[in-house]
Amino acid sequence: MAEDAWSHETLYPYHRQSLRIDRLLYDSKTEHQRIQVFENARFGRVLTLDGVVQTTEGDEFIYHEMMAHVPILAHGAVRRVLIIGGGDGGMAREVLRHQSVEHVTMVEIDAGVVSFCREYLPTLSDGAFDDPRLRLVIADGAAYVAEAEESFDVILVDSTDPIGPGEVLFTDTFYGRARERLAEGGILVTQNGVPFLQPDELTGTLRAMSALFRAATCYLATVPTYAGGPMAFGWGTDGPGRQTDVETLRTRYSDAGLACRYYTPEVHLAAFALPGYVRQLFP
């Protein structure tokens, strides 16, 4: 590795970001994608898939806390959770912090992602793969929701961007089938990138969500690695979760025994206050 090596992310044609590779730990191409893990002095260990940053030890807690705890605490009685993607184990880690959650099914298309993350990014999963409540399924997430019969209180689509293996997880067909897997009052949350740089991604999800759910919107969180402004999480439910007040959230947060680094009940509510340019992306 050259002394001044950098990882250049070229996800967008008009914008790129670079992270210095202080030490390359892993570089391999699987059947589905090229996987790299390297160390960076500020962000710690960094995972990239096909050159696109997926997560870093330094700021992963923001993404994982906000995707997991917002729907679980808004719902208030979550027992069964489905995670689509999330091979690094960070999402499962946060979901399993809720002792009220009895069962988590995690569907990851690439077994290689899971195995190397357990070896090279163990702090992300932090033992989640050994929790008896977790069932890991190596399969295509879209095929799984089409064929599964069980229902879930919360479904988290912790996908890559809509290119390559992740593309099928952004279709109307997938959202419709995910809706069928939700129990009464269940909540579907999706990863929808950075709206300032990926506006069509959010608009497409919101269009599909609006046709499927009585309450369809998104909420935001600022993750430094995902440059270009706050990132969006799509939200769809027929239940009352979106109207959960701050006092109820504080009680549920306390009862869960959580001590988060980013999520708070106040941040939870504020995340649904959308700036004008995001509002304009609603269909």
Distance CA 221, CA 231 (A): 6
Considering 50, 59, 88, 158, which one is annotated as catalytic? 158
Q: Label the pairing between strands 44-49 and 34-40.
A: antiparallel
CA-to-CA distance for 216 and 270, rounded, in angstroms? 17
Cα 24 → chain centroid: 25
Q: How far apart are CA 60 and CA 54, in angstroms?
A: 9
Q: Strand, helix or coil at 94?
A: helix
Q: DSSP 3-state assignment of 269?
A: helix
Place of tokens 């893990």: 37
Which tokens belong to 206? 């919101």
CA angle at 63 for the pair 105 and 207, rounded to the nearest 5°? 80
Task: Please state, in angstroms and rounded to a whole number, the distance separating the CA atoms of residues 17 and 12.
Answer: 10
Alpha-carbon distance of 23 to 91, in angstroms, equals 26
In single-letter form, the type of residue at position 167 comes to E
List the structure tokens of 152.
């879930």
Strand partners, 157: 84, 190
- Report the alpha-carbon distance of residue 252 to residue 268 in Å, rounded: 12
Confirm if 1 and 24 have CB atoms less than 8 A apart.
yes
110 is catalytic: no
Residues annotated catalytic, as ranges: 158
